[in-house]
Chains A and B, each alone.
Chain A
Amino acid sequence: MRSEEKVPIISDENIVTARQRGRALAAQLGFSSTDLVLITTAISELARNILLYAKRGEIVLESISDNGRQGIIVVAQDDGPGIANVDKAMEPGYSTSGNLGLGLPGVRRLMDDVKVLSRLGEGTTVTATKWKR
C-alpha cells in the first residue's frame, strides 16, 4: 500500500505545513522520536531550498515498504533554475545563496539516501528516503 501527499511550497507558511504533514506520516509509520525530528528537519531544509532557489515547488510525502521494511520518501520538486553542478552542491559548505551551505549535504546526513536530479533551466527533484529501524 502506498500513500502519497502533496504540499505546495509557495510561502514560508507552507514549510510549516509540509513539516507537520511529514511528521504525522512518519509518526503513523512508527518512526522513533529521534527519527521524527530528523525527518522533520530534513523536510524543513528541502522546503526552504525550494523557496530560496526556485520560489515555488512542492513536497511530496510517501510511505514505502520493501521486503517488510518500512520507510518514508520525501520528494522536493521544483521547476526552478536547476543546479549547475550537483556533485558540488552535495559538498559540505557549498552554497550559492550566501546561506550556511547546509542544505543538501545536511539533508544527506539526516536521511538514509538522497538522490538529486537536476537540469539547468528545467528544475530540480530531490528524493530523500529514510527507513525505519
Chain B
Amino acid sequence: MEVPILKQGPYLIATIQTALHDTDMLQLRDALVAKVGKFRSRGVIVDVTSMDVMDSFSSRTLRDISHMIRLRGAEMVIVGIQPEVAFAMVQLGLMLEDVPTALDLEEGLTFMNQRMKVPWMGEKDRKRPRAI
C-alpha cells in the first residue's frame, strides 16, 4: 500500500496507514526525497497517527528519511505518535534522536510555519532566541 503524499503550499504531507510493509516504507523514503525537489518543498510532515506500531525498522527508516530531507534542503517533522506507541518506543529503547516531532498535524504545520519565518542566522544573531 503506497503512502499518499499531499502537496500543501510549500509543504508535503505524508499520511502513513496502519499496515505498512517495509517496502512501502522504503518507497515512501524515495518518493519524499524526489518530491521535495520536484515541488521545491520547504518542509515535510509525516503523519503517523494511525500507526499502531513503531518498531526498530520503521523508526530507523523515519530517521533516515528526515536526514535525507535535510540534506535536500528541507525540514521534516513527525506528527501523531500515539501515547501507547510512545511508551512502547521508550521500552524498546528507540529514539528518533534529532528528528522533530509535534502532537498532531495542526501543531506540525505551526512548527513548519515558525521554522520558515526564521531566516538563516549568522554568528551575530546567535543570541536571539531561536524559534523551535
The answer to whether A106 and B56 have CB atoms under 8 Å apart is yes
Q: What mask results when residues 29 to 58 of chain A are scored 1 for a CB within 8 Å of chain B, else 0?
A: 000011011101100110010000000000
Total of A-B residue pairs, C-beta within 8 Å: 66
Would you call the interface of chain B mostly helix, strand, loop, or mixed?
helix
- Among residues of B, the one whose C-beta sits closest to the C-beta of A106 is B92
Inside 8 A of B22's CB, which chain A residues have their CB?
Answer: 12, 15
Chain B interface residue count, CB cutoff 8 Å, equals 22
> Complex Cα distance A38/B53, Å?
8
Inside 8 A of B23's CB, which chain A residues have their CB?
Answer: 12
Interface residues of A in 64-105 (CB under 8 A from B): 92, 99-100, 102-103, 105
Inside 8 A of B52's CB, which chain A residues have their CB?
Answer: 23, 36-37, 40
Give me the interface of B with A, judged by CB distance under 8 Å. 19-23, 52-57, 60, 82-85, 87-88, 91-94
Give me the interface of A with B, judged by CB distance under 8 Å. 12-13, 15-16, 19-20, 23, 33-34, 36-38, 40-41, 44-45, 48, 92, 99-100, 102-103, 105-106, 109-110
